[in-house]
Amino acid sequence: LKETGTDIASKVPCYQLKHPNSTIQMPAIGFGLYKVDDTEKVTVAALQAGYRHFDGASFYENEDTFGATLKKHKISRNEVFITSKVWNDMQGYDKTIESFNKSLKDLDTEYIDLYLVHWPVP
């Protein structure tokens, strides 16, 4: 699994996100996980095709399967860039923190690379 996708992934352009102590590489092309029926099968196919940026959200209800797929197929956390989002009914400081922590737990990871407001509402 790794060899096929890694060769292709190395050709995908990346944006450099600069932090005071590091630079993070964000692949310019990502794979969305919305309405994915068989998350494991689709994730493996995307990895084989070279995708390393995955766009999910707690609302999609598949973050747990996506995270488990990465572990099952021995994909190191630093090999993928994970985006997640807070949904409308979880906006506001306390609910956003709750939603973020749920995504961390479901993904079974220590960090999320990019966390967005899915759909801003007043």
- Respond yes or no: is residue 60 known to be catalytic: yes
**Bridge-based pairing state of the strands 14-18 and 23-27:** antiparallel
**In the prediction, which pLDDT does 109 show?**
97
Instruction: Please report, for residues 13, 69, 104, 121, the alpha-carbon distance to residue 63 in angstroms, rounded to integers and kept in the order given.
Output: 25, 10, 9, 23
Specify the amino acid at residue 25: Q
Q: Per the structure block, which two tokens stand in for 34?
A: 């919305």
**pLDDT > 90 fraction of the chain, expressed in percent and rounded:** 76
Q: Using the predicted structure, report yes or no on whether residue 1 has a pLDDT greater than 60.
A: no
5 pLDDT band (50/70/90 cuts)? low
pTM of the model: 0.89
**In the prediction, which pLDDT does 9 show?**
74
Spell 91-120 as b/e; 16+ CB within 10 A means b.
Answer: beeeeeeebbebbbebbebeebbebeebee
Out of 15, 34, 51, 60, the active site residue is 60
